[in-house]
Chain A
Amino acid sequence: MTLQDTNTAAARAPHIGQAHRRQTARRHLAGRGRFVSDIVLPRMLHAAFVRSPMARGRIVEIDTRDAEQSPGVVRVFTARDLNPSCKPWTGTLDHFASMVSAPQNILAEEEVLWAGHPVAMVLARTRAEAEDACELVMLDIEEGEACVDGHAALSGDAPRAAPGLDSNLCFQTVLETMAVDAAFAGAAHVVEGDFTFGRHTAVTLEPRSVVADFDAASEQLTVHHGTQTPYQFQDIYARHFGLSESRVRVIAPDVGGSFGMKLHLYNEEMAAVAASLKLGRPVKFVADRLESFVSDIHARDHKVSARMALDAEGTILAMEVDDMTQIGAFSTYPRTSVAEGNQVVRLMGAPYRMPDYRGRLSVVFQNKVQTSQYRAVGHPIACAVTEALVDKAAARLGVDPFEIRARNVVPDDAYPFVSATGYSFEKLSHEACLAKLRDLMDYDALRAEQAALRERGIYRGIGIAPFVEITNPGAAFYGVGGARISAQDGAVVRLTPSGEVQCAISVTEQGQGTETIISQIVADQLGVAPEQVKVTTGDTDTTPSGGATWACRGAGIGGETALRAGRKLQGQILALAGQILQSDPADLALADGHVVDAQSGTRRMPLAEIGRIATYRPDTLPEAADNSLTAAEHFAPSGYPFDFTNGIQASLVEVDVETGIVRLLKHWVVEDCGRIINPLLVDEQIRGGVVQGLGPALFEECLYDETGQMTNASLADYLVPMACEMPDIVIGHVETPTNDTILGAKGVGEAGTAAAGVAALNAVNDALSPFKAEIRQTPMTPLRILAALGHV
């Protein structure tokens, strides 16, 4: 009896807000994951690609005769074979006024535009045979002059990065308030700096992978695709290959990490689909690590000049920022390569009351791998420039970094608030977060320790950085620009004949735990345990259409969709139960897997009995009764265009001033993502995000030489952050739910990445301050730190 009571109590407690382990974790630990890489189909061919060794050149000849005779080879395709089957794609959107980009197609035609550009596709029985045959393809390319540096690319006589361009400028925009020049003219202090942010890339555990399977008899194309956005790709494959949408099925099974990298259209995936359409056989492509470095999108690559005006008391009056983003030879399809820079210039100064602003953005083509949206699009750049300048201002004024931020953040009671760059904030909690962080890290004790250690020649630094993150985007993000990218989501929830629950939903699982939080939310609407809710994602044939995973929308938008679908089904179940029990549905509720009396909680009938009667004995129901136990609901965010979140991070580092090596000693995050659905998974997201912010701050960089060759394209040379280099990450929360939804949840996946890098940058500069040295380039390699110190 006591056991049953405990169970009952546990089952009644809401699951939203409770820590639940990821449901997929056990399966993955047991080696039972099913990734696209694992999929083997009968008659399947494996693809490998011959890539341009040059950053820019003209194709003179591709001789595939020897490769075609190589053992195991079925076909060798070049642009002439595949490109005519595909409508070219162009990575522009209407709301980025007058942006340009050259059209792209599957394989390079006439010209190669980056080192890694696919030129020929070999299909063989095995990947090894395909790779062997690639060595036999003779490629004659006449080398041309490559655009490598963005500033040089903008000069009038620079060669064009792609054919058909009038200039290498992809997009330019200026945002400004009326009084920005007056603000600088009247400022008591102006601080400024030039910043350089290197390129880096995602390095997912599972590389990009696709199995395209066209069945000519049924005219059905099935694409197993390791992606974040199955519906987006269903639409792309249908439109670009002229297929009926309902005959295109995209299935994203287990996906081994995405981080924005798996949102974009790539030549190789299109080639796999085109080849399968041509041959009527399944075609598999799994990128190896080496080709991933020269074909997966890269991120960032900014040069920023910025200045900040303050009055005598340290109040921020204005910022003026010029960002040049370097994006490769094309703007990426279908989301463009402009969104990153656009968010950089709009997020500058976001935590502060700063009234005036001018931001100028130039997006520039060059002959390198394309850059595009990657975790925390634009945020780390805006945050780094803003917070580095705030620290400079604090030093100039002799004010503590906490104090200058406390003077300038938008006060917690000042919302709603519109920023100088035009963002509307519903409700943020900078003051609460600042206060909580100060306690959490024991700031005063750390400062005392820092001073004591400095006496002994040990240089520690403390850096803090508030941030604002864009989450739950509405259609303003892409839809208004003409992109067929959904900002809404859909869910179908049903009660099975034995009283269990299934939920098919359009948000997807990349390992972050989406399915787990959806099961928690649905469970609470239907009075069952999360384990009794089976969640299906990632299949365009079996789930409703929706946006899936990007821009921190899974919990906020997907969760709200699941909640509403669950409530709808709850209404249907209660209506049916009311008829069976001859009670008013308003007097009934769902709990512990039962229909219960809403007041007393007394069990009236099990859900299994509802399922049984509705499914097998509808004949026993009253005549007008509706036996439907399936509910579908779509939800599109309305109200604010975005639900912004906020938080603050801090970093403690130790810099060895003789070797330039930085040790990360500890990291803190106080974060406000609104309603927390699963604190365990929220903390996992924050920690992972912090690591992805610290990586490019200290280690990760795609290095190019002056001819456009990437010179560290392997994990022997490209440094990813490892567990041994990462500090302990202490996390605290403030919860300010959004009133835009019933659930009140906002996104959290990018918060960690937004400010981790600049927290470390500010900490390093704090450590270097006794030497009057300063670093404004990431990654902060030992050599760059020694250069800042004047040692090299």
Chain B
Amino acid sequence: MELEGTQELQADPQTVWAALFDRDVLERAIPGCETLEQTAETEFAATVKLKVGPVSARFKGGVELSDIVPLVSCTLSGKGSGGIAGFAKGAARVTLEDLGETTRLTYSADAAVGGKLASLGNRLIKSTAQKLAGEFFANFEAILAEQAEPAPVPEPAE
């Protein structure tokens, strides 16, 4: 299954790039993410709860960032096991383009599922994946917007 998309983000590439590697940002942006641990500089372990059609499952798996060209592109690959619901795996190439004030993010992903997810949810997987990607970027953008606002200056103690 192949997925492609572009998203224009209201931030410069430096900010977007930093956010993509920020554990806290990712944990909040990934739909259904329950835990996300950074296990190495470019590796994360995640628990994500997802529902595809009639199958709902808690996936445990890892995400790795590779082929990193700083501020320009990287590949995210991951695989997760959802117990008897099956498994999901995939890789996405993410590219950033500097548009001055904003950044255009382009992704092209190839994903596969197995077990009950494949046998039951097959018709729904692509639409679900697209919906999840949409949710991810909506969350991501909201977090970026939050960060862009100046942090409130703490009142002096006295």
Contacts and interface: CB of A to CB of B under 8 A. Distances in A.
Interface string B118-133: 1110110000000000
A290 B116 contact: yes
Contacts of A705: 118, 122
Interface in B78-127: 81, 83-87, 112-120, 122-123
A45 to B, nearest CB: 19
Interface stretch (A49-57, A310-318, A604-612): A49-57
A290 B119 contact: yes
Residue with the greatest number of chain A CB neighbours at <10 A, chosen from B113, B118, B123: B118
Contacts of A135: 57, 83-85
Given A137-B83, A137-B84, A138-B83, A53 B122 contact: no
B118 to A, nearest CB: 4
A81 B141 CA distance: 52
A357 B18 CA distance: 72
A115 B114 contact: yes
Contacts of A138: 81, 83
B83 A710 contact: no
A65 to B, nearest CB: 14
Contacts of A134: 83-84
Residue with the greatest number of chain B CB neighbours at <10 A, chosen from A53, A707, A711, A717: A53
Contact of B120 (A54, A136, A139, A290): A290
Interface string B55-90: 001000000000000000000000001011111000
Contacts of B117: 53
A10 to B, nearest CB: 55
Contacts of A137: 83-84
Interface in A34-80: 50-55
Contact of A707 (B57, B114, B116): B114
Interface in A713-727: 713-714, 716-717
A517 to B, nearest CB: 40
A53 B114 contact: yes
Contacts of A716: 120
A688 B119 CA distance: 28
A135 B83 CA distance: 6
A249 to B, nearest CB: 34
Give the interface size class of chain B.
Answer: 10 to 19
Nearest to A52: B115
A50 B115 CA distance: 11
A54 B115 contact: yes
Nearest to A714: B120
A686 B85 CA distance: 40
A712 B122 contact: yes
A47 to B, nearest CB: 14
A713 B120 contact: yes
A119 B119 CA distance: 18
Contacts of B57: 135
Contact of A711 (B54, B83, B85, B122): B122
A710 B114 CA distance: 9
Contacts of B83: 134-139
A709 B84 contact: no
A717 B86 CA distance: 18
Nearest to B112: A707
A709 B114 contact: yes
Contacts of A711: 118-119, 122
Contacts of A717: 122-123
B119 A294 contact: yes
B119 A712 contact: yes
Contacts of A54: 87, 114-115
A309 to B, nearest CB: 44
Contacts of A293: 119
Contacts of B123: 717
A54 B118 CA distance: 10
Contact of B118 (A52, A140, A710): A710
Contacts of B86: 53
Given A290-B120, A709-B119, A714-B119, A51 B114 contact: no
A115 B119 contact: yes
A417 to B, nearest CB: 47
Contacts of A713: 119-120
Given A54-B87, A134-B84, A135-B84, A709 B118 contact: yes
Nearest to B113: A709
Interface in A98-136: 115, 134-136
A54 B113 CA distance: 9
Nearest to A707: B112
A709 B81 CA distance: 15
A447 to B, nearest CB: 42
Contacts of B118: 53, 115, 705, 709-711
Contacts of B85: 53, 135
Contacts of B112: 707
A717 B122 CA distance: 9
B70 to A, nearest CB: 32
Contacts of A53: 81, 84-87, 114-118
A137 B57 CA distance: 13
Nearest to A709: B118
Contacts of B116: 53, 290
A115 B122 contact: no
A290 B81 CA distance: 19
B42 to A, nearest CB: 22
Given A53-B114, A115-B118, A705-B122, 8 more contacts: A50-B84, A138-B83, A140-B81, A290-B119, A293-B119, A294-B119, A711-B119, A717-B122
Interface of A: 50-55, 115, 134-140, 290, 293-294, 705, 707, 709-714, 716-717
Interface of B: 54, 57, 81, 83-87, 112-120, 122-123
10 contacts: A51-B84, A52-B115, A55-B114, A115-B118, A139-B83, A707-B112, A711-B118, A711-B122, A712-B119, A717-B123
Q: Enumerate the 8 nearest inter-chain pairs by beta-carbon distance, A residue then B residue, closest first.
A: A53-B115, A713-B119, A709-B118, A711-B122, A53-B86, A53-B114, A135-B83, A710-B119
